[in-house]
Amino acid sequence: MSSAPGRRTGLLFVLSAPSGSGKTTLMARLQRWDRRLVRSVSMTTRGPRSGERHGREYWFVTPSRFAAERRRGALLEHAQVLQHWYGTPRGGIEAARRRGRDVLLGIDVQGARQIKRSGYPAVSVFIQPPGVLALRRRLQGRGTETPAQIRARLALARRELRCVPEYDYVVVNDRLDDAVAQLEAIIMAERCRVRPAWL
């Protein structure tokens, strides 16, 4: 991927975390810290939660539309999580990177693994909760899921935590300000890293 003369190609930062670990809050804080950061909006077949808006938190689409996008190769990655499909539109990320913008992409471990295997250049960060009990409290505090759904998410979180060694970095989100500072340091370090011109 090339960018305009004199302009660097933007970086892709892949952030994964168990549901309830604070990934969305962290990404919002990062964007307030640096307005040059762009958040990739994923596509999903699940319905919107209270307060979510089409095109802001997710692109909410039908299963048939999602399948069509996947077939035509328009998704950088895709995965099924708890009976719903999630995927990352490729076009928006590549357009932002060509403009020299760094992109934040919040996806699950399946999607992050697909990107890594594809060879697409990305920096991967796992956001880890301080513990399963803290994660349970956060999920219960959201009030958006039934007890059965919370149990399913905790079981999934335990499986996801075993994938930490696959990532470039891990940040424990115990104290929000500390986690934000660590992510800011990772972004600054990666911007200073020497990379081949084609990345």
- Each residue's pLDDT tens digit, 170-185: 999 999 999 999 999 9
Q: Is 123 helix (H, G, I), strand (E, B) or coil?
A: strand
**What digits encode the pLDDT tens for the residues 30-77?**
999 998 899 999 999 999 988 899 988 899 999 999 999 999 999 999
Please tell me the pTM assigned to this model: 0.84
With respect to residue 6, please indicate whether it lies within any of the assigned structural domains. no
Residue 171 · residue 179 · CB < 8 Å: yes
Domain-embedded: residue 2: no
Task: Return the beta strands (E) in the chain as ranges.
Answer: 12-16, 37-39, 42-44, 58-60, 75-81, 84-89, 102-106, 123-128, 169-172
Is it the case that residue 97 has pLDDT exceeding 70? Answer: yes
Residue 105: its pLDDT value, please? 96
Contact 170/15 with Cβ under 8 angstroms? no
In a domain, 198, yes or no: no
Question: Residue 178 falls within a domain, yes or no?
Answer: yes
Number of domains, the chain: 1
Residue 95's pLDDT is: 95
Note whether residue 120 is domain-resident. Answer: yes
**Would the pLDDT of 20 be above 90?**
no
- pLDDT score recorded for residue 140: 81
Q: Which residues make Cβ contacts (< 8 Å) with residue 1, sequence separation at least 6?
A: 9, 94, 97, 98, 198, 199
Note down the domain range covering 28: 12-192
CATH number for the domain that contains residue 123 = 3.40.50.300
In the structure, what pLDDT confidence band is assigned to residue 197 with cuts at 50, 70 and 90?
low
Q: Alpha-carbon distance 52 to 33, whole Å? A: 23
pLDDT higher than 80, residue 4? no
Instruction: Answer yes or no: is 165 within a domain.
Output: yes
> How far is Cα 103 from Cα 10, in angstroms, rounded to an integer?
7
Q: What is the pLDDT of residue 1?
A: 56
Residue 3 lies in a domain: no
